[in-house]
Amino acid sequence: MIGLTIFKIDKLYDQLQFYCSDGHIYIMKHDQDCCESVTIDDINGDLDDLIGTPLLKFEESSSDGCDKSLPKNLYDISNGADSSTWTFYSLSTIKGYVNIRWFGTSNGYYSESVSLNKSSECYLDEWRDYKLDQIIND
């Protein structure tokens, strides 16, 4: 996604949809299954800072939920789960940055990962409308 311009972000329950200048929607989510839970724990920064200018940074990192190198409030809070994982996304544009923190727990058998999927449909008409609106209102 680096170099793409996000022109709209929808935050649905534990899912983020990024509408981008290539005409696709990039969907950040976890497909829930039984015996596990993966949710957006925190969004640090303003999602609006990602809109309208190209992405300069898009990085993912993860850490075991019991990782003692994390701040004390982030490790070992799995509430009895056999496994836990933190997944961090750092996104930035020239206007600012956003850190998205996901937390997943499971019985150890199920995935706690977060996926980023590109839509198969193309939404270039929406990108065109966004750009026209910018021209008209500037």
Instruction: Tell me the mean pLDDT per 10 residues along the chain, length 138.
Output: 95 93 94 84 96 96 68 53 86 97 84 90 88 86
And the tokens for 105? 């727990």
* pLDDT at residue 72, as a whole number: 53
* pLDDT at residue 74, as a whole number: 53
| pTM for this predicted structure | 0.83
* pLDDT at residue 10, as a whole number: 94
And the tokens for 118? 């590109």
Taking the C-alpha atoms of residue 41 and residue 71, their distance in angstroms, rounded to an integer, is 15
* pLDDT at residue 25, as a whole number: 95
